[in-house]
Amino acid sequence: MEQNTSNTTRVQTILKFTYGLIPIVAGADKFTNLLTDWAHYLSPALKSALPVSDHVFMSIVGVIEIIAGILVFITPQKGGLLVSAWLVLIALNLIAAGNYYDVAVRDLAMAIGAFSLSRLSQKTI
């Protein structure tokens, strides 16, 4: 039983770092566009509905992602759920755009991992 707990803790730690760091890095990159031009991933319908420019919207997205990543480190149960839901929303945007289906599938798979982190982090009574 002790080894099983140790393995679970290791997996939880790996997931916590994965789903904590990736949103922080991606969120910070929304301000620099070093990794990619993030506005290209916005669906045309979403772009036309925005009350602000693409750049301002992506900056807001970046702040949300940074907060989500920090939340994963503070409370992985809640942070994992937030990151999971966020990744599903990103995938739905990509599907609505009719592009980047490969990225949408990857984001859905990552959402499952973030949800798994949340479940592993639940306190049992």
44 is in which domain, residue-wise? 2-120
Decide which of 5 and 84 is more confident.
84
How do residues 91-109 score in pLDDT, each as one tens digit?
A: 999 999 998 999 999 999 9
User: What is the distance between the alpha carbons of residues 47 and 121, in angstroms, rounded to a whole number?
Assistant: 36
- Of the CA atoms within 13 Å of residue 22, those in its CB half-sphere come to 17
Model confidence at 2: pLDDT above 80? no
pLDDT score at 16 = 97
CA 60 to chain centre: 14
Task: Please give the tally of structural domains in the chain.
Answer: 1
- The verdict on residue 30 lying in a domain is yes
19 and 113 Cβ atoms separated by less than 8 Å = yes
* ∠ CA 40-46-51, rounded to 5°: 105
- The verdict on residue 125 lying in a domain is no
DSSP letters of 57-105? Answer: HHHHHHHHHHHHHHHHHH-HHHHHHHHHHHHHHHHHHHHHHT--HHHHH
- The verdict on residue 21 lying in a domain is yes
pLDDT score at 125 = 45
